[in-house]
Amino acid sequence: MGKIEIIGLGKSGIAAAKLLKKQGKEVTIYDADTSGKFEPLKQKLAQENITVKLAQNIPLNPDNLPELIVVSPGVPWDIPLLIEARNKGITTIGEMELGWRYLNTCPWVAITGTNGKTTTTALIEAMFKNGGIKTSACGNIGYAACELALESSDNKPQWVVAEVSSYQIESSVELAPKIGIWTTFTPDHLARHKTLENYHNIKASLIKRSHSKIFNGDDPYLRDLGLRESWENAYWTSVKGKEFLLGEESRGVFLQDGWIVAFGELIAPISLFKMVGLHNQQNLLMAVAAAKLAKVSKSAIAHTITTFNGVTHRLELIKTIEGVRYINDSKATNYDAAQVGLESVSAPVILIAGGEAKEGEDSQWISKIKEKCASVLLIGDASDIFACRLEAQGYHQYEKLGTMANAVIRAKDLASQTNAKVVLLSPACASFDQYSSFEQRGDDFRELVNDLD
């Protein structure tokens, strides 16, 4: 029996190890962490006969090579170890691909894109469940794919709904969904993917392998792509009306006279949908398209539209204090998502931004700050960079506060002084300078806001 090596001791890596162990495989998890924080977890997994090796790389001994290497999503696909492993002929896949191998007898909906993935995924999951379809979301939302495979080994779902990042697509060469959705496309993750062309090609590869393809026709990049390329079995959406659809009206989902129209059928008035912002209406239309293709009933779709309140960490209302709404948009980890966050709330705004800076174009985000923000409170490693950028664009109403705790306390004072309507955490950054995830960052904001008097 050959060895299987896993890189990454996070949720995905552990789920992959447990799934493989259940199949009788010899499994070792490697993680580069040297802090010692994983020692208790290492001991716990040892009780399940899963070996964990910390602060070590996989030894590629020619006399004892592994039969398979499974990579967690956060591990770059082009590190020297993985390049060497592939050159030696060792099969190297991501955790998502492993989950696919165990769940590919079920049809999949796979949602990818720069922004909008999580809300679209959650909407589809809710529509499917309201329609009586046994499903669970996985990937970047809910379960890791291998967790879902473990949970359902004896009772598989009728559909798998997966939010799939570019990192996961990159390491999933066989994943072929029944329905593929491309939500938006703007520059992101360029530190990892190097060029916009590489980023595009990764996203496009998943959509090309999808049987049915759903596109947000209001996204400028995807719309231009649709005008240039003929996508087989494509469905397009638009909040602007049927005249803005690409392709046949009978294959489109759009808004017309205040109604959601899907494949020629009236579904529900858009006024019943509680989430704010055109971007969320776009997300909704893509979800409706997927639900219709999966034969979900009109009544189940309409029920979801009227009852869906949004997802945690994405424009999530935490509390209203003295008339000021405190909103958690921690999932806004790039400039475009943060711009959408600002567009979706009422001015004047006290904005909390910062964290681990990403590459990208920030001019439109800063323009929106100048238009809507009474003050910007900067936290984390990006504080100095953002301060320089704001100064260069002629915006001076910012403060460098360092931590979330300082920012929340200062935001309450400033909100009363400036008659702000909203305190918005929308960082435009990754979280890894101060937090282990955007979820932990958002949870910290929630706790701090709830502790305010």
The mean pLDDT value for 1-8 works out to 84
Please name the residues in contact with 308: beta carbons below 8 A apart, sequence gap of 6 or more. Answer: 122, 123, 126, 273, 274, 275
Confidence of residue 194 (pLDDT cuts 50, 70, 90): low
State both tokens at 157: 């779902």
Q: Average of pLDDT values for 2-7? A: 90
Structure tokens at 366: 């800063």
Which of 30-34, 37-41, 286-290 holds the top average pLDDT?
Answer: 286-290
Q: Which of 17, 16, 15 is nearest to 27 (CA)?
A: 17
* Of the residues 58, 89, 120, the one at which a domain ends: 89
pLDDT above 50 for 187: yes
What domain range is 223 assigned to? Answer: 97-307
DSSP code per residue over 171-193: T-SS---SEEEE----S--HHHH
85 and 130, same domain (yes or no): no
Alpha-carbon radius of gyration of the chain: 23
pLDDT of 153 higher than 80: no
Q: What average pLDDT does range 375-402 have in this prediction?
A: 97
Encode burial over 314-333: b for 16+ CB neighbours within 10 A, e otherwise: bbbebeebeebbbbbbbbbb
Mean pLDDT value across residues 412-423: 96
- Say which residue, 340 or 296, is predicted with more confidence: 296
- How far is residue 108's CA from residue 427's CA, in Å, rounded to a whole number? 32
Q: Residue holding tokens 């910062």?
A: 354
Total number of residues shown for the chain: 453
- Under 8 Å CB-to-CB from 156, ≥6 apart: which residues? 103, 105, 106
Count of domains for the chain: 3
Q: Please say whether the beta carbons of 108 and 293 come within 8 A.
A: no
My answer on whether 264 and 194 are in the same domain is yes
Mean pLDDT of 62-78: 88
Shared-domain flag, residues 259 and 375: no
Tell me if residue 377 falls in helix, strand or coil: strand
Q: Are both 201 and 135 inside the same structural domain?
A: yes
Percent of the chain with pLDDT over 90: 74
Give the pLDDT score at 377: 98
Answer whether residue 413 shows pLDDT above 90: yes
pLDDT recorded at residue 199: 83
Indicate if the pLDDT at residue 294 is higher than 60: yes
Average pLDDT, stretch 280-293?
Answer: 97
pLDDT at 192 > cutoff 60: no
* Residue 415 identity (one-letter amino acid): A
The residue-averaged pLDDT of 403-429 equals 97
Are the C-beta atoms of residues 108 and 178 closer than 8 Å to each other?
yes
The CATH number of residue 59's host domain is 3.40.50.720
pLDDT band at residue 33 under the 50/70/90 scheme: confident
- Same domain membership, residue 252 and residue 153: yes
Q: What is the mean pLDDT of residues 217-221?
A: 94
Query: Which backbone phi and psi does 374 adopt, to 5 degrees?
Result: -75, -30
Count CB atoms within 10 A of the CB of residue 44.
Answer: 12
Query: Within this chain, do residues 279 and 364 fall inside the same structural domain, yes or no?
Result: no
Residue 195 has pLDDT above 90, yes or no: no
Same-domain pairing of 266 and 329: no
Mean pLDDT value across the chain: 92
* DSSP strand pairing (252-256 vs 259-262): antiparallel
Output the pLDDT for position 152.
Answer: 76
Q: Do both 403 and 376 map to the same domain?
A: yes
Cβ burial 12-42 (10 Å sphere, 16+ → b, else e):
bbbbbbbbbbeeeebbbbbbeeeeeebeeeb
Tens of pLDDT, residues 90-133 = 999 999 999 999 999 999 999 999 889 999 999 999 999 999 99
Of the CA atoms within 13 Å of residue 122, those in its CB half-sphere come to: 18
Asked whether residue 188 carries a pLDDT value surpassing 60, the answer given is no
Q: Are residues 64 and 106 in the same domain?
A: no
Express as a percent the part of the chain with pLDDT over 70: 98
Q: Last residue of a domain, which of 54, 89, 124?
A: 89
CATH number at residue 113: 3.40.1190.10
User: So what's the pLDDT on residue 1?
Assistant: 46
* 45 and 77 fall within a common domain: yes
Q: Are residues 114 and 166 in the same domain?
A: yes
Tell which of 67, 89, 111 closes a domain: 89
* Predicted pLDDT of residue 191: 58
What pTM does this model have? Answer: 0.82
Distance CA 412, CA 212 (A): 48
Q: Which helix (H) or strand (E) holds 259?
A: strand 259-262
Same domain, 33 and 111: no
Residue 44 amino acid letter: K
Long-range contacts of 252-260 (CB under 8 A, 24+ apart): 252/217, 253/285, 253/286, 253/288, 253/289, 253/292, 254/285, 255/281, 255/285, 260/284, 260/285, 260/288, 260/305
The CATH number of the domain holding residue 327 is 3.90.190.20
Cα 384 from Cα 49, distance rounded (Å): 47
pLDDT-based confidence at residue 384 (cuts at 50, 70, 90): very high
